[in-house]
Amino acid sequence: MPLLELVNLDVGFDTPEGEVHAVNELNFSIEAGEALAIVGESGAGKTQSMMAVMGLLADNGHVSGQALFNGNDLLSMGAGELNQHRGSQIAMIFQDPMTSLNPYLSIEKQMIEVVMHHQGLDRAEAHAKAVEMLRAVRIPDPERRIGQYPHEFSGGMRQRAMVAMGLLCEPDLLIADEPTTALDVTVQAQIGHLMSELRQTSNTAIILITHDLGVVAGLCDRVLVMYAGEVVEWGSVEQIYYQPLHPYTRGLLESVPRLDQPDDAVLHAIPGNPPNLLALPDGCKFRDRCPKAHDACREEPPIRQGGEGHSYRCFLERTDE
């Protein structure tokens, strides 16, 4: 049985301008210890699909489908039941550590609360565990640092503290929403190393949400590419990087700035802008930005097979290079 399995997950929001379909029939599963990337531009539905799984949708949001965690549907649980899983078995870390840490509470207070609640440890045990975890994420001098407040930490340290908090209860699944986007490249590299290390030592499964295919390559086993609420391509990290089949995936890959290109190479961008979810085109939602679009794309594109475990949603055949 997979660790987490999403079945026909739909997420929508009621807004004054009309109903917004943020996520459309999302299906995937992740095994214990696996690392999966969900990649796409702003508004692709990556964050909202995971917020729905965590029961953290905004008040005007609604969700249907199933999110089976070890076979139990998270979406049909009440808050009390959900809280037995959230934090202890599933943890989520957010993009901006400054806004998701409470500025009024010391790091210690924010960390030990979780362990005391979920694991029934007393204060001293929880403290020891928190210090140990801060040391694991390489916060220097953790015994002293744990008493400090978030503003006394640098950006990288805050994000590492977030990762430490996420991992404190040794969750089976860690959902990381753009964990490195707000950080400097040098710190990005550190957090990346840290996540793959923790994955090896504690067999934690990771779902990594990002708009940058550059950061995924070294960290994940499989990739799911989303556009306008739909998965447009999925496969192993090798398949996605070496044989991308959907024009959108290719566009995302080409737009990653690389140091190994000639100095004067023209940078590739995907033309146009991320779609307006209130006014999506019929048929293929990517067609007005797609270099390969043709008349057929006005219809709903089929799902084609690329290889073992590799599929994409497009009219193009594999050979239509």
Partner 1 sequence: MNERVLRVQDLSVHFEVREGNLFRSRMHTLKAVNGVSFDLNAGETLGIVGESGCGKSTLARAMLALIKPNRGRVLWLGEDLGKLDEEELRKKRQDLQIVFQDPLAALNPRMTVRDIIAEPLWTFFPRIARVQVDERVSGMMKLVGLLPNQINRYPHEFSGGQCQRISIARALVLNPKLVVCDEPVSALDVSIQAQIINLLKDLQKKLNLSLVFIAHDLSVVKHISDRVMVMYLGRAMEVSQRGNLYRRPLHPYTKALIRAVPVPDPKLARKLVDTGLTGDMPSPLDLPRGCVFHTRCPYAVKRCELEVPPLRRMENNDWVACHRAEELDLTIAKSG
Q: Which residues bind partner 1 (CB under 8 A)?
A: 41-42, 140, 154-157, 184-189, 192-193, 211-219, 237-238, 241-242, 251-253, 255-260, 263-271, 273-274
Residue 21 Cβ vs partner 1, minimum distance, rounded to whole Å: 18
Strands (E), the chain: 4-15, 18-30, 35-39, 61-69, 72-73, 90-93, 173-177, 205-210, 222-227, 230-236, 303-307, 310-313
* Shortest Å distance, C-beta 286 to partner 1: 11
* Strand ranges, E, within 215-320: 222-227, 230-236, 303-307, 310-313
For the chain, counts of helices (H) and of strands (E)? 10, 12
Alpha carbon separation from 287 to 119, 249, 265, 299 (Å, rounded): 50, 13, 26, 10
Of 97, 182, 91, 95, which Cα lies nearest the Cα of 139? 97
| Pick 76 or 154: Cβ nearer partner 1 | 154
**Minimum gap (Å) between residue 214 Cβ and partner 1:** 4
Nearest distance in Å: CB 71, partner 1: 31
Q: How far is the CB of 260 from partner 1 (least distance, A)?
A: 7
Tokens 């006005």 identify what position? 298
Complex with partner 1: residue 8 or 200, whichever CB lies closer? 200
